[in-house]
């Protein structure tokens, strides 16, 4: 009798254990399902780790236009997996040049997701995990259109320059990108360097991340604005993205075409800035205030105010250097095509956004004093690309998922 009772107790205990195990997805099954899902979407540098009931995933998105669009595609794909292949919760780390940029925490209830810049703990869980679909050595040939307008002459309404400026972008090691660009004039009514075929942005850029949310960048090469040299940036942003501070320093020389000949001067011009930023995610509002030193030594301050409407960004700015005022407006528009083909060895594509800046003052006394001159170190620099304030991304992801569920 005692043996029968003992046998029944063992059978009941084994049944309870089997039932619990049957309700919990196997960790390996969840990891493999997540990896295959992201591979099918074309994501790169995929790493997955399962800890208890949380599945942590890091990936880089070079397919979808805009951070939130790629995140929404990943969430939708993961939540469409069979129940036995889903984790109770996910941590999604979005990489940029293989550096951790953004963390989205996705519980069972999608509407309760959270977004943060604090990726340190999630990346520790992925330590030692091998990446799948690596980026190193892959090349994008990006076909950039360029437009320049300047109102500084008495004999013409506007100076105009339209360029076609293809650029090669190669991913190297972690955080490192090699860029090579050539500027091909299509039309211009100006007689300066703009009428010549000339080098564009030709740089080696290294991004890095320090503990505590400090990001850095070091760039060397040929920049926009006819400058060549080195440029360094350090910036800190709060975990919720509401505010940030940063500093920039550069040492450059002239790099321009005189009579069709490329002429480079010594690197002796020192530039720099110290700035603070505030984000208001409810309205997609971004405010920057900076103390600046520009290329030819003029110093002062600059205020930028930008508003993000999904993937469209508009903004105005004003600055004062050496007692002279200037200002203008900026905008960035998405280039048609929300999804680019998966990357192989070489991929041809358009840029994600077209950005433009108009400045009120150029020539006459302002130009003669060499005021207001600056440069950029990337050919794809605009106000929409890379804007991933956590509150803004959360709102856009939820809206995008809601829209997808509505049309389906």
182 and 102 co-located in one domain = no
109-132 pLDDT per residue, tens: 888 899 999 998 999 999 889 999
pLDDT at 408: 54
177 and 317 co-located in one domain = yes
Between CA 212 and CA 227 the distance in angstroms is 33
**Where does a domain end: 77, 112, 134?**
134
On whether residue 408 sits in a domain, the answer given is no
Say what percent of the chain tops pLDDT 70. Answer: 89
> Does the structure show a pLDDT above 90 at 301?
yes
Strand (E) or helix (H) holding 355:
strand 353-359
130 and 146 co-located in one domain = no
On whether residue 82 sits in a domain, the answer given is yes
pLDDT at 12: 45
Contact 202, 352 (CB under 8 A): no
On whether residue 407 sits in a domain, the answer given is no
322-338 pLDDT per residue, tens: 888 888 999 999 999 88
245 and 326 co-located in one domain = yes
> Does the structure show a pLDDT above 50 at 13?
no
For the chain, helix (H) and strand (E) counts, in that order, are 6, 20
Distances (CA, A) of 294 to 6, 75, 86, 272: 84, 44, 53, 7
On whether residue 402 sits in a domain, the answer given is no
95 and 236 co-located in one domain = no
Tell me which residue has tokens 């929300």.
338
Strand (E) or helix (H) holding 401:
helix 390-407
Residue 207's nearest CA partner among 60, 132, 102, 96 is 96
On whether residue 400 sits in a domain, the answer given is no
CATH number at residue 323: 2.40.160
> Does the structure show a pLDDT above 60 at 239?
yes
pLDDT at 311: 87
122 and 199 co-located in one domain = no
b/e 190-225 (16+ beta carbons within 10 angstroms → b):
beebbebebbbbbbebbbebeeebebbbbbbbbbbe
User: What tokens does 194 get?
Assistant: 């703009």
Contact 334, 312 (CB under 8 A): yes
Mean pLDDT for the stretch of residues 349-367:
80
**Where does a domain end: 134, 157, 190?**
134
Give the count of domains, the chain. Answer: 2
- Give the pTM: 0.83
**Where does a domain end: 85, 105, 134?**
134
313-323 pLDDT per residue, tens: 999 999 999 88
68 and 198 co-located in one domain = no
> Does the structure show a pLDDT above 50 at 17?
no
Give Cβ neighbours of residue 180 (< 8 Å, ≥ 6 apart). Answer: 167, 168, 202
254 and 307 co-located in one domain = yes
21-33 pLDDT per residue, tens: 444 445 688 888 8
Domain range enclosing 123: 26-134
203 and 271 co-located in one domain = yes
On whether residue 208 sits in a domain, the answer given is yes
CATH number at residue 110: 3.10.310
Question: Which segments of 72-175 are extended strands (E)?
Answer: 89-96, 99-106, 114-116, 139-150, 159-171
pLDDT at 406: 55
Residue 6's pLDDT band (boundaries 50, 70, 90)?
Answer: very low
265 and 352 co-located in one domain = yes
Between CA 294 and CA 269 the distance in angstroms is 9
On whether residue 396 sits in a domain, the answer given is no
Q: Rounded to the nearest 5 degrees, what angle is found at the Cα of 300, between the Cα atoms of 297 and 302?
A: 120
pLDDT at 283: 85
On whether residue 283 sits in a domain, the answer given is yes
345 and 215 co-located in one domain = yes
311 and 387 co-located in one domain = yes
């Amino acid at each position: 009798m005692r043996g029968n009772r003992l046998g029944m107790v063992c059978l009941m205990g084994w049944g309870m254990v089997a039932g619990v195990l049957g309700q919990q997805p196997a960790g390996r099954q969840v990891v493999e399902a997540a990896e295959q899902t992201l591979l099918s979407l074309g994501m790169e540098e995929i790493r997955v780790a399962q800890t208890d009931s949380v599945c942590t995933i890091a990936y880089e998105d070079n397919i979808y236009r805009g951070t939130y669009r790629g995140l929404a595609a990943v969430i939708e794909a993961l939540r469409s997996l069979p129940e036995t292949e889903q984790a109770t919760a996910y941590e999604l780390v979005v990489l940029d040049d293989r550096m951790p940029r953004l963390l989205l925490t996705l519980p069972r209830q999608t509407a309760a997701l959270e977004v943060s810049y604090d990726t340190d703990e999630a990346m520790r869980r992925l330590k030692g995990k091998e990446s799948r679909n690596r980026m190193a050595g892959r090349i994008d040939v990006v076909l950039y259109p360029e437009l320049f307008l300047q109102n500084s002459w008495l004999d013409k309404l506007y100076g105009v320059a339209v360029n076609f400026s293809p650029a090669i972008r190669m991913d190297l090691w972690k955080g490192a990108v090699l860029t090579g660009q050539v500027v091909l004039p299509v039309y211009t009514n100006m007689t300066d360097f703009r009428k010549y075929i000339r080098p564009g942005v030709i740089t080696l850029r290294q991004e890095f991340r320090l503990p505590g949310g400090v990001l850095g960048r070091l760039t060397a090469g040929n920049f926009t604005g006819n400058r060549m040299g080195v440029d360094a940036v350090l910036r800190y942003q709060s975990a919720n993205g509401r505010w940030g501070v940063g500093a920039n320093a550069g040492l450059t020389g002239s790099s321009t075409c005189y009579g069709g000949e490329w002429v480079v001067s010594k690197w002796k011009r020192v530039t720099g800035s110290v700035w603070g930023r505030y984000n208001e995610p409810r309205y997609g509002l971004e405010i920057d205030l900076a103390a600046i030193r520009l290329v030819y030594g003029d110093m002062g301050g600059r205020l930028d105010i930008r508003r993000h409407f999904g993937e469209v960004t508009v903004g105005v700015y004003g600055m004062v250097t050496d007692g002279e005022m200037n200002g203008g407006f900026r905008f960035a528009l998405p280039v048609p095509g929300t999804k680019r083909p998966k990357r192989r060895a070489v991929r041809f594509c358009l840029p994600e956004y077209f950005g433009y800046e108009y400045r009120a003052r150029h020539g006459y006394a302002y130009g003669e004093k060499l005021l207001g001159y600056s440069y950029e170190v990337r050919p794809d620099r605009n106000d929409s690309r890379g804007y991933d304030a956590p509150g803004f991304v959360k709102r856009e992801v939820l809206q995008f998922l809601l829209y997808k569920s509505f049309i389906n």
